Amino acid sequence: MAQLEPIHIKVDKKMIAPIVLMPGDPLRAKYIAETFLENAILINSIRNMLGYTGTYKGVRVTVIGSGMGMPSMGIYSYELFTFYNVEKIIRIGTCGANKEDINVSDLIVPDSAYSESNIAYTFSDYPNKFTYPSKELNNVIIETAKEMNYKIHRGTILTLDIFGPYVDEERIINRVPRNVDIIGEEMEAFGLFHIANYCGKEAACILTVTDSKYSSLVLSDEEREKNLNNMILLALNSIIKDNN
């Protein structure tokens, strides 16, 4: 039986915007609020999962961390959709690349997420290994990327229950059906897409590539910040376009 009140986010419903950006790291939410939003105020700090609401070019937006992995993403996205009347969530995170032509610092906008996880089946008896973002919201992001002259890669992202670099990722990827073209891997998108679809809401995902099995390149702190800023700006400007 669902909880009648949210447990992990506690704030007046009016304090959360209908469109939410969700980085994994709550400190990145703080950075986004302080760097890009006007009149941003702290609206959640339970368990140090920081959330802020402010405006970007006159449009109200909330940014809040999701934590790491699908269980954490599932909790926060479900509470936002169910208890706070959020209509759209854009995950902004990092991933590893699985294609030689996708470079470190490139942007990925997944068309689908594939996972071996049982989280969707446990949540609502959903038996499939694919979940999907909102086509409409994805199209807005794609059009915005074109307007901003940002190159993006599209395709299927692999969502793992573990942090890929700590295990033999190839062993997992080799279990994926050969007709599924995995372009990268991360830990949250599959869960977010399922929760959104279950709740009748919209979700999308923008990822910055921070590592690749085809490259030894490691981004400096300055390079990492700049490239994450490109992803953040793409998400924020997509909100503006979607709001018009």
Active site residues: 211
* Interacting residues of 219 by C-beta distance below 8 A, sequence separation 6+: 104, 105, 210, 227
* The residue to which tokens 């190839």 are assigned: 170
Please name the helix (run of DSSP H) or strand (run of DSSP E) that holds residue 96, with its range, or none. Answer: strand 88-97
Q: For residues 62 and 29, is the Cβ–Cβ distance under 8 A?
A: no
Alpha helices in 16-63 (DSSP H): 26-36
CB atoms within 10 A of CB 31: 18
Q: How far apart are CA 129 and CA 116, in angstroms?
A: 6
Asked whether 76 and 8 are in contact (CB, 8 A), the reply is: yes
> Rounded to 5 degrees, what are φ and ψ at 101?
-90, 5
Output phi, psi for 109, to 5 deg: -120, 100
Going from the C-alpha of 243 to that of each of 110, 114, 124, 230, the distances in angstroms are: 22, 30, 31, 20
